[in-house]
Amino acid sequence: MVNKIISKKEVKISIRNLNIWYQDMQVIKNVNLDIEKNKVTAIIGPSGCGKSTLIKSINRMLDIIPEAKVRGTILLDSQNIYEIDETLLRKRIGMVFQMPNPFPKSIFENVAYGLKLHRVFKNREEVYFKVEKALKQAALWDEIKDNLDKFALDLSGGQQQRLCVARCIALEPEVILFDEPCSALDPIATAKIEELIEKLKQNYTIVIVTHNMQQAARISDYTAFLYLGELVEFGPTQKMFTTPQNKMTEHYLTGKFG
């Protein structure tokens, strides 16, 4: 079923025969998946099915978990991610986490953090420019533009999450991974994040893990349904939500389990 859905030219990330274990427990079983450039790909599935593990393998965040063992191939623009230095890989593939996790610094310092790590600026003016641009793209600028020195943890949960998005896109990544970005947010903040993702896909390739099927239906172009570590079904969202090919997908989407 791999690769008949997306033409080869448009593939940004290609996952082949991916198997992941935590110690002896296999959490990802032979997953093959292509992610199209400048589209939103949603990964859905019940809790504990391996969604977060799958997404974390893409920017090699599993490297920091000693028990995790990864086998298989993940290609970013046809290059094996394990041939790219992990710090540079993570600069190209940004990540927004489930719980908003801004640093206990000012708003400005949060967004400038990645720029300083990679020294991707010539002077102070450029830092300001890039911070402003990122905050604007993350739809946070209008709310905090007079208050860049404000302590980031004093922002509301939704603002904190958009700050995390700004921090991520300040580095101008190619891909943004969202790991259940709205599960700690209220409906209004969730709507804002969804609106933001909609806008971001013009410039970025987006992968989003969500346990909220309505969310996947609303914002994604492609949906992958993961169950017990296996990729059960993958296809254009519209098609999958109207005519799922697999009985299990249908049961999950209609709420018979999950």
Partner 1 sequence: MSLRKTKEFVGFAILRLATFLILFALFIILYFIGVRGIKVINWQFLTQKPCEGMTSGGILPAILGTFYLTLCAICFALPLGVAAAIYLTEYAKEGRLVRIIRIGINNLSGIPSIVFGLFGLAIFVKYFGFGVSILSGGLTLGILILPIIIRASEEAILAVPESFREASLALGATKWQTIYRIVLPNAISGILTGSILGIGRAAGETAPILFTAVTFYSARLPASIFSEVQALSYHIYALMTEGIHPETQIPIAYGTALVLLFLVLGIDLVAIVIRKKARKRKW
- Measured from the Cβ of residue 8, the count of other Cβ atoms closer than 10 Å reads 9
Considering only 12-20, 92-100, 122-130, 242-250, which stretch makes contact with partner 1 by CB under 8 A? 92-100
Q: For residue 149, how far is the Cα from the chain centroid?
A: 28
- Determine if 1 is a binding residue for partner 1 (CB under 8 A): no
- Determine if 102 is a binding residue for partner 1 (CB under 8 A): yes
13 residue type, one letter: I
Q: Which of 71, 77, 88, 149 binds partner 1 (CB under 8 A)?
A: 88
Q: With respect to partner 1, which residue has the nearer C-beta, 99 or 191?
A: 99
Residue 66 near residue 36, CB atoms below 8 Å: no
CB of 169 to partner 1, least distance (A): 11
Considering only 7-15, 57-65, 210-218, 226-234, which stretch makes contact with partner 1 by CB under 8 A? 57-65
- Measured from the Cβ of residue 195, the count of other Cβ atoms closer than 10 Å reads 12
189 residue type, one letter: A
- Determine if 87 is a binding residue for partner 1 (CB under 8 A): yes
The secondary structure of 198-250 as a DSSP string is: HHHTTTSEEEEE-S-HHHHHHH-SEEEEEETTEEEEEEEHHHHHHS-SSHHHH
- Determine if 181 is a binding residue for partner 1 (CB under 8 A): no
For partner 1, the binding residues (CB under 8 A) are 59, 61, 64, 66, 86-91, 94-95, 97, 99, 101-104, 113-114, 117-118, 151, 153, 164, 167-168, 171
